[in-house]
Amino acid sequence: MVEELPIQKYVIQEMTSPEVREAMKETGIVIVHVGSMEQHGPHLPIKTDTSIGFEVSRRAAAKFHGRTGRRVLVAPSIPFGMSLHHMSYPGTVSLQPETLVTVMTEVCLGLARQGFRKILITSSHGGNQMWTDMAARKIFDGTDAKVLLLKSVWTKNKDDDWTRHLKSGMQGSGHAGETETSIMMALGAPVRLDVMPREPTKWRTPLPDFWAHGEEPKISGLSTMGTYNVEDVCDGYMGDPTYASVETGEKILENWSDNILELLLQYDTL
């Protein structure tokens, strides 16, 4: 196994400015991850999305160096996302959608101005999706640097489907379910095993043919993200976290970061 690059060689917040100036010459690629600070049930910390998305992005950059000997840099995560649908749960911190777009745009355009030639935006929170689209377009229009948006680090690879590692199936894999709980265990977070929900939450849906959780609805086309409050549709988590394990979390982290590695290898050729 190739020895992994120390974080002070490619994670910007751990580097000095002269080191960044030199390192950015190797590929010119920077990953800008955006997460969220929102409630994740009674058993996971508020930082869950930001921790997961940063780790997946960081692993992909480390693997890129292992494969090519050249560096992709990882910017500090934008820790806050659009989490207004979680605001009734104490501890959730949300930006307004317009603010998120502005923060993302300023962070990415600033990095481009300093010389990064290719920006890869990654997101680890579903509530960010439409706003990351808006931001990516504004960034694209504001710089000569290339811009790619990976809307979700929950990437699916049809040659190696990560959901095969789940013991509860996709039904158990939503917000704060088996997937996120397993990953946080793998990251060594103090998951509250003692208060972990013993039963899958009941998804309370007013339009059963149009809303689904964990699978496709019967009739598609209805946009729901951002038009509900979490307490109205579930109990703060979805699926079944009781199936979670360190082993599953590690496998999923490897799968997602391998997918992002493939993206970086192709981006590097542009």
Site of interaction with Zn ion (CB under 5 A)? 48-49
CB 252 within 8 A of CB 179: yes
CB of 248 to Zn ion, least distance (A): 16
Helices (H), 115-177: 129-142
d(CA 87, CA 226): 12
CB of 189 to Zn ion, least distance (A): 12
Sheet containing 29-34: order of strands: 73-74, 29-34, 118-123, 146-150
CB of 203 to Zn ion, least distance (A): 16
d(CA 118, CA 112): 8
Question: Which of residues 116 and 154 has its CB atom nearest to Zn ion in the complex?
Answer: 154
Question: Which of residues 27 and 48 has its CB atom nearest to Zn ion in the complex?
Answer: 48
CB 191 within 8 A of CB 43: yes
Question: Which of residues 105 and 155 has its CB atom nearest to Zn ion in the complex?
Answer: 155
d(CA 18, CA 183): 34
CB of 24 to Zn ion, least distance (A): 30
CA-CA distances (angstroms) from residue 161 to 53, 128, 168, 264, 268? Answer: 18, 24, 15, 19, 24
Spell out a b/e string for 60-73, using b for 16 or more CB atoms within 10 Å of the CB, else e.
bbbbbbeeeeebbb
d(CA 155, CA 149): 12
Residue nearest to Zn ion (CB): 49
Question: Which of residues 5 and 246 has its CB atom nearest to Zn ion in the complex?
Answer: 246
| Cα Rg of the chain, angstroms | 19
Question: Which of residues 47 and 118 has its CB atom nearest to Zn ion in the complex?
Answer: 47
CB of 202 to Zn ion, least distance (A): 19
Question: Which of residues 85 and 118 has its CB atom nearest to Zn ion in the complex?
Answer: 85
d(CA 60, CA 105): 23
CB of 175 to Zn ion, least distance (A): 5
Query: 3-class SS at 121?
Result: strand
Question: Which of residues 5 and 170 has its CB atom nearest to Zn ion in the complex?
Answer: 170
Query: 3-class SS at 264?
Result: helix
CB of 119 to Zn ion, least distance (A): 23
